[in-house]
Structure 1
Amino acid sequence: MNSAFTNKVVIVTGGTSGIGLATAKAFAQQGAQVFITGRRQQSLDAAVREIGGQVTGVQADMSRLEDIDRLYDVVQQQASHIDVVFANAGGGEFAPLGAITEAHFDSTFDTNVKGVLFTVQKALPLMRDGGSVVLTSSTTSISGTPAFSVYSATKAAVRSFARNWMLDLKDRHIRVNAVSPGVTETAGLNELFGNGNDAENSKSWLASQIPAGRVGQPEEIAKAVLFLASEEASFINGIELFVDGGQAQI
């Protein structure tokens, strides 16, 4: 086992599936004490079993400030400090301009923007100086996608957070970076495309647009997150790291 994160305390929000689960697992395999969140207790329990090691699951909806407070109460009781925050919880649905509802807007922004903001802000009293924050943005932050404007706007906001927060936290030497996945093989992606043949056809078409010729795997995104959180990236701050097979570059 690689021990790069031994004795480190890591928060992974949205850690029950996809990129969050793969990243939590990778941190645990490298010796970290990991706290994950998820909205559904059954999924949370399954993820804790799969991750193994020093992992604690906290049921929480990261759009709710009281749930974020409860997460950090648990962390303070069990670990007393935080070294890394991976603010990953998020999601979105298709809605073209003309069909966007207030509920769609509020739900997407509450989770992807408000949730990320307060996940990081409320972690600060427990964060060690010299720690690392990694935010999940998306290639949609810089490229247009039909019927996906609200989600894309939230991810542009997240990317902007990294640029600004690194300045707010510079005196504490806390680095803030964003990882921007492209199309990645997750349950959330399949649900977005309607599951079944519709999802497979959509993914096949998207893969044909990616220079690497395929969609990404959650474990590949996890490697990028661990790099940004590690001492190997000690002079990297405020960046957006695209992990997308080259799609954002064409």
Structure 2
Amino acid sequence: MKNIVITGGTSGVGFAIAKEIANEGHNIIIVGRHEHKAHIAQKKLGNNVKVVIGDLSNEAECEGVIDEIKRLLSHIDVLIHSAGVLPHNAIENIHVNLLPHYYLTTKLRGLLANSRVLIITGHPQAVNLVPICEIQSSAFSRAAWVITHKTLLMILLNQMLRDCNTTVNSFYPGQVNSNLMRYTEKIDNTEVPVGAYLALNATLEKMSGIFFDENGKIVQLDNQKYNVKTAEKILAPYLSKITTY
């Protein structure tokens, strides 16, 4: 039985992954911002699921989430970053969709050993084709920014967590029903089998720094674009904003 933490696990992609993993009897902590919503999700998911409430973009609440996870668990087998919003501006994109993934992972490092970290990102073609750019003046540019920077974060965290034998991968979950956007509310699909596959499959134990598609197939990343040197250079200005947070 594994201990699994899923941010954004109260709805959408995160809830879909939690549902499948819960069906296999593992211990799950879902992290969400809204208490009522989280407890509805918990009731649907079953007795092996606990909820931790907090807004990961808020320093004090993020620290509270970290403290509560440490109180509940002595070890994390799988940490899945599914939390996110449709950002209205660059600041929201940075502080909701990127920095909490880094901060939560590094602050929980003491609980990660022979573990897995998974970061949910965008469509494989977009990840490879859109340029790495710091412009976030439109919805399209913000979407391009977050999928490229999440991929760079995966590369960086993979390097950082090697000494604790923890793998870091990213994946595209496919088109899934969620309240993220109007069109996603109309999508019928509520299953994300690739999430449980990447979290639990024994054959993936040593695979790290890899991007997977919705079918669990490896997507070859452009090494000229996605590498440790570029990740450190591009992400440094954002990560330097973190002091206590």
Shorter chain as normaliser: what TM range?
0.7 to 0.9
Compared with structure 1, are the counterparts of its residues 113 and 104 closer, same or farther at alpha carbon in structure 2 (3 Å cutoff)? same
**Residue in 2 that maps onto 1:217:** 189
Compute the RMSD of aligned alpha carbons. Answer: 2.6
CA deviation profile, 1:35-56 (whole Å, cap 9, x unmatched):
1111111111111111113111
**Residue in 2 that maps onto 1:158:** 150
TM-score (norm 2): 0.76
Q: Which amino acid aligns with 2:142?
A: V
Q: Which amino acid aligns with 1:19?
A: V
TM-score (norm 1): 0.75
Q: Which amino acid aligns with 2:173?
A: P
Verify the 8 A CA contact 2:7 2:30 in the aligned structure 1.
yes
Verify the 8 A CA contact 1:36 1:55 in the aligned structure 2.
yes
Q: Which amino acid aligns with 1:122?
A: K
Compared with structure 1, are the counterparts of its residues 245 and 41 closer, same or farther at alpha carbon in structure 2 (3 Å cutoff)? same
Identical-pair percentage: 24
Structure 2 SS opposite 1:142:
helix
Structure 1 SS opposite 2:57:
coil
CA deviation profile, 1:48-83 (whole Å, cap 9, x unmatched):
111113111111111123222212222222222211
236-245 vs 68-77, which deviates more?
Answer: 236-245
Give matches, 1:65-214, under 5 Å.
65-93=59-87, 104-127=89-112, 129-139=113-123, 140-143=126-129, 147-190=139-182, 193=183
Compared with structure 1, are the counterparts of its residues 245 and 126 closer, same or farther at alpha carbon in structure 2 (3 Å cutoff)? closer
CA deviation profile, 1:66-111 (whole Å, cap 9, x unmatched):
2222122222222222111001101214xxxxxxxxx711011111
Which residues of structure 2 form unaligned runs of 5+? 131-137, 221-245
> Would you say how many aligned residue pairs link Structure 1 and Structure 2?
209
Verify the 8 A CA contact 2:7 2:32 in the aligned structure 1.
yes
Structure 1 SS opposite 2:109:
coil
